[in-house]
Amino acid sequence: MKAWRVLSIRARLAVAYAAAMGLVLLAYAVFVAAFVHDRLNAEIAHRLDQEVEIAERSLTVDDAGRLVWHAPHDNHEAYQPLRNVSWLDIHRPDGSLIYRVPEIGVPEMADVIPSFEARTSGFFSLVAPNGAHLRVLQRDIEIAGQKVVARAALSEDQAEHDLATLFWVMGLSLPLAIALSGLGGYLMAGRALSPIAKMTAQARVINAERLDARLPVDNPGDELGRLATTFNDLFAHLEQSFEQLQRFTADASHELRTPLAVIRSVGEVGLGKHHDEAAYRDIVGTMLEEADRLTLLVESLLTLTRADAGRMALILRPVDLGALAGEVAAHLKVLAEEKNQILIMEPSEPVLVSADIAILRQAVVNILDNAIKYTPSGGQVTLRVARTGSEVALEIADSGPGIPPEHHGKVFDRFYRVDAARNRAEGGFGLGLAIARQAVEIHGGRIEIAGSPDKGSVFRIVLPLLAPHET
């Protein structure tokens, strides 16, 4: 078994193909040999049976009381040598010989024809005194009203010689056929596995710097083509993940560097010369504000990291989504009032979902805070809860500038900003929507976005409705 595993797949396929072909050829050879043997025996039996029937019809008794061949014409010879059998004889029931062809006096048949033995009618084999293998038919017949016993014999040596010749031919050709099939299997396996060699060569050049390279796909419809396509899809995901990781690292570094630079510069100003107490308070306040920004950024990143790793432990219980939305709206109403915005919470009947209230509240807070932040002064933000079949949706619609459709698929990416300059002025990191999506998805829900520029945006948090038996 160990030696088998050392072989290449191509060699193993060739050996397996040769072994399978060898078994098929061996079974075919056995079948042919059995068929030929049966046909030879059937032919011998047919010739013997035919000759006995001819003898029964053609032998007659002459005036002298002897058995002679019936001559249909005057010029027909009295003695006709047998063509189908080696010899034929006729005996009385007591065993006395009354007729034989070739004639009794033929010397060369003296050591071939065995003595008569009474037995039941049928075929049997025997070995003649000279060593010849004979097939004999012994049958009771009636000639000119007399009950006699006819024996006809035919040598089996020629049939056995023909069968032995067949065995020799098969014995010599079978190994050759197996060897040729093994060679053919090796060539076919090499041709079939050639795409793997190409994929292996191409895979060697794929690394972190060349994730854009792809495996060759000769035939997308076969198994190897589907395998190469699957690997190419995997490489595409890896390429995308690497790009996101590089972008995430760059954005995180930038977000960390900005407050650290502010803290450093403010500290250097404070140490540069003497200031009064109020100035020092402003310096320390600025440093604490930037420290709070750093803390918020780190906590947001840790939240996303725990969600990615599946380590966010949920404490699930029935939650009225409408009541939760109203609570969040009341909490953030002061932010809307500062911008003279109208914050509307449309009434709804209680709709329950199974959720961790703290994590789900954070998702609603992030989306509502985002809507208030980008809705201009005097605008309107509306919250509504609606039940649709087996799901419940919380819609947060604003009258802000809206999000262009080309950005809809990216606004949930980490550190992504539709307008980077304006977002930094507002103090955001570009992580709020990413955290909201993670919080909703771990509850088995999804976030949808609609709207267009100049018509505002609509964010929909869709969650499974809590079944009545789960309440």
Show the domain range for 355.
Answer: 317-470
Is 99 in the same domain as 134?
A: yes
Is 15 in the same domain as 147?
A: yes
Residue with tokens 């060539």: 187
Is 293 in the same domain as 370?
A: no
Is 47 in the same domain as 24?
A: yes
Is 325 in the same domain as 301?
A: no
pLDDT score, position 426: 54
Q: How far apart are CA 342 and CA 371, in angstroms?
A: 12
Is 286 in the same domain as 326?
A: no
CATH code (residue 443): 3.30.565.10
Q: From the CB of residue 277, how many other CB atoms can be counted at a distance below 10 Å?
A: 7
Strand positions, DSSP E, 210-367: 317-320, 342-345, 352-355
Tally the residues of the chain. Answer: 471
45 in any annotated domain: yes
Output the pTM of the full model.
0.48
Q: How far apart are CA 432 and CA 295, in angstroms?
A: 15
142-193 pLDDT per residue, tens: 887 888 899 888 888 888 888 888 889 888 888 888 888 888 888 888 887 7
Q: Are 370 and 376 in contact (CB under 8 A)?
A: no
Strand positions, DSSP E, 202-350: 317-320, 342-345
**107-116, 166-175, 217-226, 437-446, range with the lowest pLDDT:** 107-116
pLDDT class for 436, splitting at 50, 70, 90?
A: confident
Q: From the CB of residue 127, how many other CB atoms can be counted at a distance below 10 Å?
A: 11
Report the pLDDT averaged over residues 363-382. 88
Is 157 in the same domain as 15?
A: yes
104 in any annotated domain: yes
Is 244 in the same domain as 323?
A: no
Q: Are 371 and 403 in contact (CB under 8 A)?
A: no
pLDDT of 133 strictly over 50: yes
The domain tally of the chain equals 3
234-273 pLDDT per residue, tens: 888 888 777 767 766 666 665 666 667 777 777 777 777 7
Element holding 60 (H helix, E strand): strand 59-61
Is 230 in the same domain as 348?
A: no
Q: How far apart are CA 463 and CA 262, in angstroms?
A: 42
pLDDT class for 125, splitting at 50, 70, 90?
A: confident
CATH code (residue 37): 3.30.450
pLDDT score, position 279: 79
Is 33 in the same domain as 125?
A: yes
Q: How far apart are CA 312 and CA 308, in angstroms?
A: 9
Question: Percentage of the chain with pLDDT > 70?
Answer: 82
pLDDT score, position 78: 45
